[in-house]
Structure 1
């Protein structure tokens, strides 16, 4: 009888251990990023404390459950924060950065449902050194309204000899399919070389469909890692109100010991209206204190054409409003900590 009790106790412990292995989470993660920002627009200078400059401040939960045969159920809930004020980011949404649930399998890929980063944004981030954040021209020149998509399905394929693809479908859930989005992409990696492309079509209104294209490439030379990204936007609006433009950016990351120097230059050109482009040059230096903590400082400048008002956006927030034709210069210094 004693042996039976021991066997029974061992079985319970084993079952508990296996159950713990089968399920991971919830795991708490996040970023706290804050800095001082000095901005000059035309002849006016302002100084402020901002949140989420090089990394969007956030807190989130994620986890997964092993369902057998290599298949896992997974979820992510991630809220944005403006830690300089304590307010929620993304317009006050509870989990405005990401909120999705789905399945993954190493043979068949990953399928999730909810609020996601668009595949277009993922491609832009992959071909701008360090991600599409403060200091990147394409973070200033792109359309920020397609950064994330609600009510969306997102599929990511496994790697097939260096080739992978993604596909996203967002349901506008309005009459006449307004808001519907289709967004595929592909990437190919061969050693230190990586190339990719993405296309997005959004039925914005009954009278206007927007079409976005991104092409990118990157190469790690060892001492320097470089990326090039090209972006286009076309719409069906009259020329007087059209947002159609082309833009490109070349960026580089230069390791200096454990620290990093980042550089980026890009230009935009309006395709429907005259003098609606601009150019941007930025540099940033990160002093890495540990794997999770870094100090940073940087300088970014935008030269707007006569009818353009591009501004310096951070990793998580839109920059200050800029009157058409004004030049913008911004200096930053801050600290970022991940957990």
Structure 2
């Protein structure tokens, strides 16, 4: 009986230890048929991530006691149309971080992660597919470097979730350029308020010494309000090249509306422009997502892009001339696990 009791105690201790730690496998498989039309060439293809970016990852949390926890997150992107990793290699390029978290003081996170300015994007299309908002990077310049999606070598601090709806993030990262140069060094700040139907955020970021563009800064403000029948989203941002004394700006107004508990209509207008040059592009997008289950959805999005004054942006891989227009259509299937 003593041996049996000892084994029972050890088993219970092991079960308690296991309950305090968890590791989760997760991912998204999203395939999309893409059609792009332009004044010069058209393109039809099978692509990835029209509703959500394809990914596979592992995340885990260990309870250290006293309200303290440690966590890790390893997430890799891949192309479902041909099975390759992003940039033809498989690595944890979407996120690779380790964290120390406290329920009363927040989280310190280190590694490759979203930038603070990208975390402040409010987009009706979730920054995916042909309907995603136009950003300054769409113009093919380094303007958008300060609002890059992710950054390496980052140290971030996130405020706790018990501040009455207020939240904040402070981020610093190193470019780790040769000979100790400051190229690629940067930082980001984000703050906001989220409570009930209201969500507001503002952010600012800066990246050092980017060749002829000099230091590049980015600022944006955005928010959303859920009216129940529909959710309104707005976003505005600006990138500034100090070396060339030029600004590029973008704006977005969008909305999402649930349909009979099984679907969602999405729509937006977005604009990107370069100050003092009148180079400009406007995009109108509308789409529908139909949920077959909690994890599987069918979707479609149509977008129309209008170029002005020398802009030549095109949709879904098509090519269009200066000042000409472009159309794009996505039809896809997304499964999450």
The alignment's TM-score, normalised by the length of structure 1, stands at 0.90
Residue 263 of structure 1 is matched in structure 2 by: 267
**What do the CA deviations read for 1:236-263 (whole angstroms, capped 9, x no partner)?**
2436xx5x31111011001111110000
> How far did residue 128 of structure 1 move?
1.7
Root-mean-square deviation (Å): 1.9
Alignment of 1:221 onto 2:259: no
Alignment of 1:14 onto 2:15: no
> How far did residue 136 of structure 1 move?
2.4
**What do the CA deviations read for 1:193-234 (whole angstroms, capped 9, x no partner)?**
221100000114265100101101211111010110001010
Given the superposition, is the C-alpha separation of residues 83 and 180 from structure 1 closer, same or farther in structure 2, using an over 3 Å criterion?
same
Higher relative contact order (CA 8 A, sep 6+): 2
Asked if 2 retains the 8 angstrom alpha-carbon contact of 1:176 and 1:206, the reply is no
> How far did residue 130 of structure 1 move?
4.6
Asked if 1 retains the 8 angstrom alpha-carbon contact of 2:123 and 2:133, the reply is no
5 Å-filtered alignment, 1:69-218, equals 69-90=66-87, 92=89, 94-124=91-121, 127-134=122-129, 135-138=131-134, 143=144, 146-159=148-161, 160-174=163-177, 175-205=180-210, 208-218=214-224
Asked if 1 retains the 8 angstrom alpha-carbon contact of 2:237 and 2:250, the reply is yes
Over 6 Å off, 4+ runs: none
> How far did residue 140 of structure 1 move?
7.2
> How far did residue 21 of structure 1 move?
0.8
Given the superposition, is the C-alpha separation of residues 276 and 204 from structure 1 closer, same or farther in structure 2, using an over 3 Å criterion?
farther
Point out where structure 1 has 5 or more consecutive residues left out of the alignment.
314-318
5 Å-filtered alignment, 1:261-300, equals 261-272=265-276, 274-300=277-303
Point out where structure 2 has 5 or more consecutive residues left out of the alignment.
139-143
Alignment of 1:50 onto 2:54: no
Given the superposition, is the C-alpha separation of residues 197 and 52 from structure 1 closer, same or farther in structure 2, using an over 3 Å criterion?
same
**What do the CA deviations read for 1:38-81 (whole angstroms, capped 9, x no partner)?**
10021422211111122111111111111111111100111101
Asked if 2 retains the 8 angstrom alpha-carbon contact of 1:132 and 1:139, the reply is no
Given the superposition, is the C-alpha separation of residues 130 and 67 from structure 1 closer, same or farther in structure 2, using an over 3 Å criterion?
farther
Given the superposition, is the C-alpha separation of residues 90 and 62 from structure 1 closer, same or farther in structure 2, using an over 3 Å criterion?
farther
Match of 1:325 among 311, 323, 326: 323
> How far did residue 91 of structure 1 move?
5.8
Greater Cα shift, 81-90 or 301-310: 301-310
Q: Secondary structure at the match of 1:119?
A: coil
- Structure 1 CA distance for aligned equivalents of residues 112 and 87 of structure 2: 12
Q: Secondary structure at the match of 2:91?
A: coil
Given the superposition, is the C-alpha separation of residues 156 and 312 from structure 1 closer, same or farther in structure 2, using an over 3 Å criterion?
farther
Residue 40 of structure 1 is matched in structure 2 by: 37
Match of 2:238 among 232, 236, 249: 232
Asked if 1 retains the 8 angstrom alpha-carbon contact of 2:40 and 2:321, the reply is no
**What do the CA deviations read for 1:257-314 (whole angstroms, capped 9, x no partner)?**
1110000101222115x1321101001111110010000111012112232233447x
Given the superposition, is the C-alpha separation of residues 206 and 45 from structure 1 closer, same or farther in structure 2, using an over 3 Å criterion?
closer
